[in-house]
Chains A and B, each alone.
Chain A
């Protein structure tokens, strides 16, 4: 696995002797998977920027797509300036989302390979136990099985939404059957993906310390030991 980089307090000195910033956060600009004092750097700046790029373009796609999908959520269109604007913005937001997610796949694909521990994690029984806050698996690395599964499902969904979306965007270029199938698939895919993302957002905020990993990039030792023990061991060489 990832070899821990030399344990730095070193990184903070790079920003000059007068810097009063949090050394771990400063280190997280360019590096991750390192220990800085009592913090562990989980996501460097580039990773976080990509994640939020994907998140915001997805939310924009959702916000502009939902009022087109159902008149019950038509009021959402007013947030972007009306249904006409939503219709104009939606395909471009979707393209931006797919493009950024593609970059994220490049960034993360290697780290997201499923291990036996990950497969164990996503089994229904153990996932239910996890949701009851009762699961603990010492083999969970930087990402747990659920996160990895979400990652691959997101990539799949983005690909499906992009392909069917292009057909819906330029219906004149495609046959009737393909247009009908694309419409149905676009709807099914976005519904399932949105459900996943609702769960993802919940798990990201329900536990203190988790969203911090995606905001300033660092987590506490306790958090890491609880959630990603194998990753913690790798970085700290403890145990």
Chain B
């Protein structure tokens, strides 16, 4: 549900948001350090509790991971990736959730006015009341985050606990984290913290360490420290996520071109009617075939330029 006290920077299917630009709000971001995550799932529990989400049935499939992937009732999931890196087995935990892109593909794809909004603090929120359940946001999102609920017919995802952050609290997951691998603050501070941590990791020999803040979507308001940032795919993260070109084309140039073509065709036909009027056949008194033009059958252009 959109938060009343926050100004909206951009809104789905709307020409613009309503920022009054009277206040200056910095982007607020979540910091995730995957290298200090111990996979305790306290954040999962906190998320379920704060957002009043009933838990979902789980199945033992030989992994520590709670469920295979995000779920309309499960917005925060620790992925337990088991991968081999340079001959060594590694257990790479990653907190999977909405990345709160600066350029959100879900919002761009959404046809329902106000169903997806981005506040001036950068948080991307959903408004179930406006959501029409078309699932186009799923195609717009490069991170495969939005989940459609068959139960409600609406989309659901992490809200970055905007109902907490707007009153000065940190998100529930951050509050619950026992190792301090989660932090919350301005984007600037979180990026600085991330870079510090990356430098530390590099000094310890992790040459591929880095901060995942992909520029293809304008950066994200969830910045993630990765030990192997040179290979984000092993964490289940796209290497260079962007809003799909087809979505940008459909919602951008193609959409304007289509509208112009339809309006142009209608106007053109009005012009045609004014210029040529109705097509009226010659009245023939008898039932005999027309003796008049065109004398020769199948000479379509025989009578050109006689309309003036």
Contact = CB atoms under 8 A, between A and B. Distances in A.
Interface of A: 67-72, 74, 83-84, 86-87, 117, 120-121, 125-126, 129-139, 168, 171-172, 176, 179-181, 183-184, 187-188, 191, 194-195, 198-199, 202, 206-209, 221-223, 225-227, 229, 236, 238-239
B277 to A, nearest CB: 8
B113 interface: yes
A216 to B, nearest CB: 19
A133 B300 contact: no
Contacts of A72: 259
Contacts of B300: 120-121, 125-126, 129-130, 134-137
Contacts of B14: 71
20 contacts: A67-B111, A68-B134, A71-B13, A86-B132, A120-B300, A129-B300, A129-B301, A133-B279, A133-B307, A134-B306, A136-B300, A139-B298, A168-B135, A184-B250, A191-B262, A221-B287, A223-B281, A225-B289, A229-B289, A236-B287
A146 to B, nearest CB: 13
Interface string B107-131: 0000111000000000000000000
Contact of B284 (A137, A206, A225, A236): A225
Interface in B5-19: 13-15
B64 interface: no
A71 B13 CA distance: 6
A222 B284 contact: yes
Contacts of B290: 225
Contacts of B294: 136
Nearest to A136: B294
B301 A134 contact: yes
Given A69-B111, A69-B255, A206-B279, A195 B301 contact: no
Nearest to A232: B289
Contacts, number: 143
A226 B282 contact: yes
Given A126-B301, A183-B247, A184-B250, A134 B307 contact: yes
Interface residues of B, number: 55
A207 B262 contact: no
Contact of A206 (B266, B278, B306): B278
The A interface is mostly helix, strand or loop, or mixed, namely helix
A136 B282 CA distance: 12
A134 B13 CA distance: 46
B297 interface: yes
Max chain A Cβ within 10 angstroms of own Cβ: one of B272, B280, B300:
B300
Contacts of A191: 254, 257-258, 261-262
Given A117-B298, A176-B139, A207 B134 contact: no
Contact of B259 (A70, A126, A180, A202): A70
Contact of A184 (B136, B254, B301, B302): B254
Nearest to B269: A202
B246 interface: yes
B258 to A, nearest CB: 4
B276 interface: yes
Nearest to A140: B298
A94 to B, nearest CB: 13
B244 interface: yes
Given A71-B111, A191-B258, A238-B287, A198 B298 contact: no
Given A133-B276, A199-B265, A208-B278, A180 B247 contact: yes
B23 interface: no
